[in-house]
Structures are given as structure tokens and as C-alpha cells.
Amino acid sequence: MTNQVALDQLKVMLVAKLNLKAITADQITDDHALFGPEGLGLDSVDALELVLAIESEYGIQIQDEEVGREAFASVRVLCDFLNQRLAAGNQGGQAAAG
């Protein structure tokens, strides 16, 4: 049994966990950038909240900052990243818990 993260599910989680007030899940496009003024406008505090939400919701740890940067490029990229981790049993990224 493979759990998959749906784009719509991820958008709802982003709005709820990050307390986004200026946008609804329905307004977020699949290719919406997470950071920057043309995207959702997340900042470093939001990034930390997002990592914690991902760990809580999906049991996936993101410990490598470079992996996190790549995974947080857009909603679709994050969704693909989460689904790859879930499919692989979250094998990568749990070593060297600090």
C-alpha cells in the first residue's frame, strides 16, 4: 500500500500549517513558487515550519539544506519529492540525525 501526496492535499496543508491568509488552496497553482514575491512569499521561518509540517504529516525528514532548497522550488516539485520519498520508504535523509 503506497500513500501518495496529491497536489490538492499539499496545497491545503500549506495554507493550514503556514497560516497563509492572503491566498486559498484553490488559488495556488501546481507550479507556484514557494519563495519569493512572485510565489507564495514564504520566508526562512516558513521554511522551518514547512519542514516540521512535512515531518508531522508525512513522516519525512528533510535534513539536508541543499535537498530542501531543491524540493521547495514549487508546489509540484515538493509534491514529487514527497511522493518519491514515500515510495522509497523515506530511506534517504534520515541518516545522521543531529
For residue 79, give the nearest of 58, 52, 48 by alpha carbon. Answer: 58
Residue 98 included in any domain: no
Residue 47 included in any domain: yes
Output the pLDDT for position 90.
Answer: 53
Least confident of 18-22, 40-44, 70-74, 93-97: 93-97
Residue 1 included in any domain: no
Residue 34 included in any domain: yes
Cβ–Cβ under 8 Å, residues 55 and 30:
no
Instruction: For residue 82, give the C-alpha cell.
Output: 514527497
Counted domains in the chain: 1
Look up the CATH number of the domain holding residue 65: 1.10.1200.10
Q: The domain containing residue 61 runs over which residues?
A: 7-87
Is the pLDDT assigned to residue 35 strictly greater than 80? yes
Q: Comparing 94 with 71, which gets the higher pLDDT?
A: 71
- Mapped onto helix, strand or coil, the DSSP state of residue 95 is coil
Give the mean pLDDT of 23-29. 95
Residue 96 included in any domain: no
